[in-house]
């Protein structure tokens, strides 16, 4: 929900760092992989209840995630392969953080953490499934034109998820409560994405079929001279 407002603010702040990285020969895909590995460090830190160490790992992951896309655009390295790598590792990172809290306190956090992970699957699958169909119909990306694929909006997006992770680390004793509330918000996102995505694609298919019916076949357009 907040991504479309936060992203334009952050992008200009990344430019000087991106320029320096480009001069050093660093690629966007390298940043993506390094950022993912740094983010995974949060899991053992969370498991051993080193909350602020985990918070640093999460923050670094998100900074590098912002830099990789900016670097790809600056260096004209944007590609479907890079977009695929980025979004795949992002979703793995998102799933890893609740797992860390479950390992830290299974008795208290297991149910809420599992519920959150289940809804993460729903938001992620609805997001990616629509992106595939959007590519088929060549739908425009009005809010995220620089992205390598279509970003379907929702109540819970990247900005809200990272804010949640930060809150988890600051107030870990309230993980179960916050995770449960956010899971409900994710459920709303899943519903709106399925409902909106389904009807959008149905309309696209209807428009495509109508356009096909209005195109005269080659046999009808031929003129036969006697």
Would you please indicate which residues are annotated as catalytic (active-site) residues?
Answer: 90
Spatial separation of the C-alpha atoms in residues 47 and 51, rounded to whole Å: 9
Extract the tokens encoding 91.
Answer: 């979703």
Q: Are 152 and 86 in contact (CB under 8 A)?
A: no
Spatial separation of the C-alpha atoms in residues 115 and 98, rounded to whole Å: 10
DSSP per-residue string spanning 71-123:
HHHHTT---HHHHHHHHHHHHHHHHHHHHHHHHH-HHHHHHHHHHHHHHHHHH
Contacts of 193 (CB under 8 A, 6+ apart): 123, 126, 127, 130, 152, 154
DSSP-derived 3-state class of residue 171: coil
Residue for token pair 């670097």:
71
Contacts of 198 (CB under 8 A, 6+ apart): none
Q: Which of 64, 73, 68, 161 is nearest to 119 (CA)?
A: 161
- Residue 5 phi/psi, 5-degree rounding, is -95, -35
């Amino acid at each position: 929900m907040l991504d479309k407002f936060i992203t334009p603010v952050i992008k200009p702040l990344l430019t000087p760092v991106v320029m320096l990285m480009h001069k050093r020969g660093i690629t966007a895909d390298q940043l993506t992989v390094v950022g993912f590995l740094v983010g995974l460090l949060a899991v053992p830190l969370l498991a051993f209840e080193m909350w602020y160490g985990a918070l640093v790992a999460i923050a670094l992951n998100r900074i590098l995630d912002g830099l990789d896309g900016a670097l790809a655009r600056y260096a004209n390295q944007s590609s479907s392969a890079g977009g695929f790598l980025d979004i795949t590792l992002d979703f793995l990172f998102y799933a890893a953080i609740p797992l860390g809290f479950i390992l830290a306190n299974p008795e208290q956090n297991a149910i809420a953490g599992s519920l959150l992970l289940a809804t993460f699957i729903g938001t992620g699958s609805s997001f990616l499934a629509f992106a595939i169909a959007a590519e088929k119909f060549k739908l425009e990306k009005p809010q995220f034109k620089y992205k390598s694929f279509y970003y379907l909006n929702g109540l819970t997006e990247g900005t809200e998820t990272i804010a949640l992770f930060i809150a988890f680390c600051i107030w870990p004793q309230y993980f179960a409560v916050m995770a449960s509330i956010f899971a409900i918000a994710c459920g709303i996102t899943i519903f709106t994405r399925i409902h909106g995505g389904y009807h959008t694609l149905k309309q696209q298919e209807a428009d495509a079929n109508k356009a096909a019916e209005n195109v005269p076949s080659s046999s009808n357009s031929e003129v036969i001279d006697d």
